[in-house]
């Protein structure tokens, strides 16, 4: 069935697309690598939008993208607060107890980059990753597994795994805790705008201290 082929392609794109971007841009160095990486992620997100609209022939509401509302923003901000001041400290404590390497693998690549880039990177993560790993992956895996909770668990696993090449194992595990909360938010609200707000705000707040000139 064309629908099934399109869906399977989209699932593979969500899993392999960001990894492919990282592999291609790793041939560059410094700021150029990071900028190309952001452009590559937007390209993956755009391709997935084409898969949904043109190949699957489904509306964006099929991945939780409807008209945004004030509730979308409020739930997004509340979730960001929970991620920053509850989930992140707990995750950092638990991950620090594991003998799984350093958290500095990805931090060193971002240290000292311009603040404007950190904002762009945070928003890119919030928009593109939520489209891939919550909106599309959760919804389409739910169709295949016929169980939204199983789909959510699989999406969390994929979200964590794809962060290993850049952030290392410790960073990926830390990110996975946030991914779990974002997945729960999506399973509950099915409002991708709320997820995008939560993820973007959290990422920007966590990245800005790494920027050049930050105290």
Count structural domains, the chain: 1
The mean of the pLDDT values for the chain is: 92
Determine the 3-state secondary structure of 214 from DSSP. Answer: coil
Residues 190-207 have pLDDT tens digits of 999 999 999 999 999 999
Assigned domain for 215 exists: no
Q: If you average pLDDT over residues 122-141, what whole number do you get? A: 98
Assigned domain for 27 exists: yes
Assigned domain for 188 exists: yes
- Other Cβ atoms within 10 Å of 96 Cβ, number: 12
Contacts 24+ apart (CB under 8 A), 105-109: 105/166, 105/167, 105/168, 105/170, 105/171, 106/166, 106/167, 106/168, 106/171, 107/171, 107/210, 109/33, 109/34, 109/166
Q: What are the structure tokens assigned to 164, written together? A: 């290993």
Assigned domain for 159 exists: yes
Residues 44-102 have pLDDT tens digits of 999 999 999 999 999 999 999 999 999 999 999 999 999 999 999 999 999 888 776 66
How much is the pLDDT for 154? 97
Assigned domain for 93 exists: yes
* pTM for this entry: 0.95
Q: What are phi and psi of 97, to 5 degrees?
A: -80, -10
Assigned domain for 31 exists: yes
Assigned domain for 44 exists: yes
Domain span at residue 10 reads 2-210
Q: Provide the CB-side half-sphere exposure for 14 (13 A, CA).
A: 30
Of 36, 16, 18, 38, the closest CA to residue 28 belongs to 36
Q: If you average pLDDT over residues 98-118, what whole number do you get? A: 80
Assigned domain for 89 exists: yes
Residues 140-156 have pLDDT tens digits of 999 999 999 999 999 99
């Amino acid at each position: 069935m064309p629908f099934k082929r399109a869906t399977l392609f989209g699932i593979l794109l969500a899993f392999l697309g960001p990894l492919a971007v990282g592999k291609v841009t790793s041939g560059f160095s410094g700021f150029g690598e990071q900028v190309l990486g952001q452009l590559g992620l937007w390209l993956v997100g755009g391709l997935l939008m084409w898969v949904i609209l043109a190949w699957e022939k489904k509306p964006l509401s099929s991945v939780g993208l409807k008209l945004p509302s004030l509730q979308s923003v409020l739930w997004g901000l509340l979730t960001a607060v929970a991620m920053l001041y509850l989930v992140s400290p707990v995750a950092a404590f638990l991950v620090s107890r594991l003998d799984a390497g350093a958290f500095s693998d990805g931090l060193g690549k971002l240290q000292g980059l311009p603040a404007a880039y950190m904002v762009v990177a945070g928003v890119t993560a919030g928009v593109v990753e939520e489209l891939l790993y919550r909106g599309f992956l959760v919804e389409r895996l739910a169709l295949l597994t016929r169980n939204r909770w199983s789909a959510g668990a699989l999406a969390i696993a994929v979200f964590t795994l794809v962060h290993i090449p850049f952030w290392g194992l410790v960073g990926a595990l830390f990110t996975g805790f946030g991914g779990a909360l974002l997945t729960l938010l999506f399973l509950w609200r099915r409002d991708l705008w709320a997820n995008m707000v939560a993820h973007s705000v959290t990422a920007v707040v966590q990245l800005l201290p790494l920027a050049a000139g930050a105290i």
